[in-house]
Amino acid sequence: MSIHIDPRLTTGTISPYLHGQFIEFLGECIDQGLWVGTDSIIPNTDGIRTDALKALKALKPPLLRWPGGCYADTYHWRQGVGPRNQRPVGYNENFGTYQPDGHGFGTDEFLRLCQAVGAEPWINVNMLSGSVAEMRDWMEYCNRPSGTAMSAMRASNGHPSPYGVKFWGLGNEPWAGGGTMTPSMYADRYRMFASAMPTFAENGDQPPMIRPIACGPDGNKPMERVRWTRDFFQALAQYRQPPIAAYDLHFYNWNIDHTDDTSTQFDQDGWDRVIRGALELGEVIDQQWNLIQACLATMPHPESTMDSRLTRVDLVMGEWGNWHGDAFTARPALRQQVTMRDALTSALTLDILQSRCDKVSMACNAQTLNVLNSLILTEDDATILTPNYDVFMMYRCHQGARAIQSLPEADNPSLHVFASVKDGHIMADLVNADMASAAEATLTLPEPVRPAGMQSLSAQDPHACNTRSDPDQVRARQVDVSDIPEGREITVRLDPASVNVLDLAMV
C-alpha cells in the first residue's frame, strides 16, 4: 500500500491529554492493584505498589481521571481524607465489585500520585448522591491556598500548598447508573453545580482556572447519542448558560454478544469484529463534534453586556477501551487479559483521536490497572505490563506534535497509517490489522527523509498475552532500518497483527 505523507499539510496540534488514563474503585483497579497500603508485604511506596508506580512514572500519563466512573456518584470525599485508621469502612457494589471499602486511597493519595507521575488530575464530582455544598468544599480543599477551613484541613493532612485541580467532571453517565436521567433533568442539575463552582481567581480580571466538564452521551447508542446531545444543549439554550468547558463522550468497543469469544480466545471473525468496532469511533467523534457546533450556533444572544454567550465547548472522552463479554463474570470484577487484538485496537483508537486533534482535546483509556483495557495487571506481588502499555509508550512521540493529513493511494483495508511531525521528525504509525499475513507499506513524501528508527509490537500468535509466568511474551522491539536508503519513497515490511512506529528524519 502506498501512502503519501506531506508534513506541510497538518490539521492541528496533538494534545498530550489525548493519552490520558482512568482509575476507579472497581474490582482491583485501585484497592489491591495500585493501592496495597503501607502495611502490605507487597513492596510499596507510601501504600502505592512500587512496581506499578515505577511503570507509571516511566509512562508519564499526561492526564489521570478519578474516582470514577460509576463509583463517583456514590463517593463522598470526606470519607477518604485524614488519618487512614480513622476513615470509615463502607461497601463497594460498583459493577459487581462487592467488597468492603476502606477509603485508604483518597483525595490526597490520588493527587500526590498525579504529582509523582506527572499527570494532570481530572476529578469527577458526586452529582447523584452528593450536594453542591459537598462539591464546593472538595474544590476548596484541593485548591484554596490558605485562610479557609478547607485549606486548613488540607494543611493538617500534610499538604499546605494547594493542588491546583483544573478539570472537574460533574457526574458520570447520568443516562444510566448516574441517575437514569433525561437530558433536561441532567441539564437542570448541571446548571446548579456548575454555577456554584468557585473560580479561584485572585481578582475579577483573571480568567477562571476551573474547567467544568459536562457528561455527554452513551456513544454506543446510535440514536440515543444524537438525541441526548441535542436535547442537552437545547436545555442549556433556554435562558442564560452556565459555565461549561468540555463535553464528555464515552465509547466502549463492545464484544459481548458472542459467548465463545473471550479476551484470549477468538477466531478470525472475532478478530475482524473487534477491529471494526474500534474503527467506529471516528464516525462517532465527527458526529458529536458537528452536533456540538450546530447546537452552539443556536445559543441565544444575551440582552445585556453583563451576560455571556456560550460559543465553545471542547469534546473530550472520559472512557474508551475494549470490553469483552467474559469480563462480566470475572473475579475480581471486570478483570480482562490483553492480547495483540487489544493492542491493535488501542493503537487504532489513539490514531483516531490524534487524527481528530482539532475536534477532541482529552481522552482517557479505561482502565489503567486490572480492569478492561488495562496497561498493568497485578497478581499477588507481581506486576505485569500488558501490550497496551507498550502501545502507549510507543505513541508518546506524538504528544505536542502536529497531525499530518495522510492520503491513501492504494487499497489495503488492513493497513492503517497515521503520521505527525515535530522537531524535524515525521513519526508514522503503521498498523497491520491482518491477523495472519504480513504487509508492505510504502510511504511517499515531497522531500527526502532518512529512516532514523522503528519500533514494532507483534507476537508469533495474536492470542499471546503477558502473564506472571511469562511477563515479556509480547514486548515492543527495535527494528533495524539501517539498510533502508534515504529518499522520497520509504518501504517497510510489517509483521501480521502488528503495531509499528517509524521515525523519519527530514533531511
Do 331 and 260 share a domain, yes or no? yes
**Overall average pLDDT of the 124-128 stretch:** 98
Are residues 384 and 502 part of one domain?
A: no
CATH number at residue 298: 3.20.20.80
- Identify whether 2 is part of a domain: no
pLDDT in tens, 368-392: 999 999 999 999 999 999 999 999 9
Radius of gyration of the chain (CA): 23
Would 8 be classed as within a structural domain? no
In a domain, 9, yes or no: no
Mean pLDDT, to the nearest integer, of 418-423?
98
In 187-245, the DSSP E strands lie at 211-218
The CATH number that applies at residue 457 is 2.60.40.1180
What is the DSSP code (8-state) at residue 84? G
Q: Do 330 and 451 fall within a single domain? A: no
Are residues 131 and 207 both part of a single domain? yes
Q: Give the separation between CA 11 and CA 110, rounded to whole angstroms.
A: 35
- Cβ neighbours for 492, distance < 8 A, ≥ 6 positions apart: 430, 440, 441, 443, 451, 454, 479, 481, 484, 500, 502
Quote the CA–CA distance of 255 and 277 in Å, as a whole number. 8
Q: Above 90 in pLDDT, residue 484?
A: yes
pLDDT score of 69: 96
Is 4 among the domain residues?
no
User: 349 is written with which cell numbers?
Assistant: 483508537
- Please tell me whether residues 371 and 462 are part of one structural domain: no
Q: What residues are paired with 48 via a beta bridge? A: 35, 45
* Percent with pLDDT over 90 in the chain: 94
Res. 205 pLDDT band, cuts 50 70 90:
low
Structural domain contains residue 292: yes
Cell readout for 503 is: 521515525
CA contacts within 13 A on the Cβ side of 77: 29
Q: How many domains does the chain have?
A: 2
283 pLDDT exceeds 80?
Answer: yes
Q: Are residues 192 and 289 in the same domain?
A: yes
Strands (E), 280-351: 314-324
Q: Is the dihedral of CA 51, 53, 59, 65 positive or negative?
A: positive
Residues 365 and 501 in one domain: no
Q: Which residues contact 89 (CB under 8 A, 6 or more apart)?
A: 100, 101, 102, 103
DSSP labels, 140-200: HHHH--SSSHHHHHHHHTT--S-----EEEE-S-TTTTTT---HHHHHHHHHHHHHT----
Instruction: Provide the pLDDT for residue 401.
Output: 98
Residue 271's Cβ-side half-sphere holds a number of Cα atoms within 13 Å equal to 19
Is there a domain that residue 428 lies in?
Answer: yes
Q: Is 93 a catalytic residue?
A: no
Which bin fits 164, alpha (ψ -120 to 50), beta or left (φ > 0)?
Answer: left
Q: Exactly one of 24, 140, 173, 280 is catalytic; which is it?
A: 173
- Residue 3 is assigned to a structural domain of this protein: no
- Segment 185-214 shows an average pLDDT of 90
Q: Is residue 153 located within the same domain as residue 223?
A: yes
DSSP, collapsed to helix, strand or coil, labels residue 471 as coil
- The percent of residues above 70 in pLDDT, for the chain, comes to 99
- Picking from 135, 63, 104, the residue whose alpha carbon sits closest to that of residue 392 is 63
Task: Give me the residue label for grid cell 483497579.
Answer: 29
Residue 89 has pLDDT above 70, yes or no: yes
Catalytic residue from among 24, 120, 140, 319 = 319
Instruction: Tell me which residue has cell 446531545.
Output: 229
Give the mean model confidence (pLDDT) for residues 89-106: 93
Q: Which residues contact 86 (CB under 8 A, 6 or more apart)?
A: none
Domain boundary among 381, 399, 417: 399
User: Does the structure show a pLDDT above 90 at 206?
Assistant: no
Closest-CA residue to 417 (of 406, 427, 425, 409): 406
Q: Across 190-327, where does the E strand assignment appear?
A: 211-218, 246-255, 314-324
The position carrying cell 497496551 is: 388
Amino acid identity of residue 31, one-letter, is: D
CA 194-133-136 angle, to 5 degrees, is 60
Chain mean position to CA 504: 28
In terms of residues, how long is the chain?
A: 507
One-letter amino acid of 507: V
Measuring CA to CA, which residue among 379, 343, 331 is closest to residue 473? 343
Residues 387 and 477 in one domain: no
The interaxial angle of helices 340-355 and 281-297, nearest 10 deg, is 30
**Domain identity same for 387 and 432:** no
What kind and span of H or E run contains 109?
A: helix 107-117
319 counts as catalytic: yes
Last residue of a domain, one of 359, 379, 399: 399
Q: Is residue 301 part of a domain?
A: yes
Beta-carbon-side half-sphere exposure of residue 326 (alpha carbons within 13 Å): 12
- For residues 156 and 176, membership in a common domain is answered with yes
Residue 44: enclosing H or E segment and its boundaries?
strand 44-45
Same-domain pairing of 89 and 224: yes
Domain hosting 217: range is: 15-399
User: Model confidence at 410, in pLDDT bands (50, 70, 90)?
Assistant: low
Bridge-based pairing state of the strands 402-408 and 382-385: unpaired
The residue among 399, 417, 441 that closes a domain is 399
170-189 burial, b if ≥16 CB within 10 A, otherwise e?
Answer: bbbbbbebbbebbbeebbeb
Whether the per-residue pLDDT at 133 is higher than 90: the answer is yes
Residues 6+ away with beta carbon under 8 Å from 231? 182, 183, 184
Check residue 309 and report its DSSP letter.
Answer: -
pLDDT in tens, 429-438: 999 999 999 9
Buried b (16+ CB within 10 A) or exposed e, 57-89: eebebbbbbbbbbbbbbbbebbebbeebeebee
The answer to whether residue 226 scores a pLDDT higher than 60 is: yes
Query: Please, which pLDDT band fits residue 446 given cuts at 50, 70 and 90?
Result: very high
Residue tagged 492520503 (cell numbers): 407
Burial letters for 3-23: b for 16+ Cβ neighbours within 10 Å, e otherwise?
bebbbeebbeebbbbbbbbbb
Give the separation between CA 122 and CA 64, rounded to whole angstroms: 6
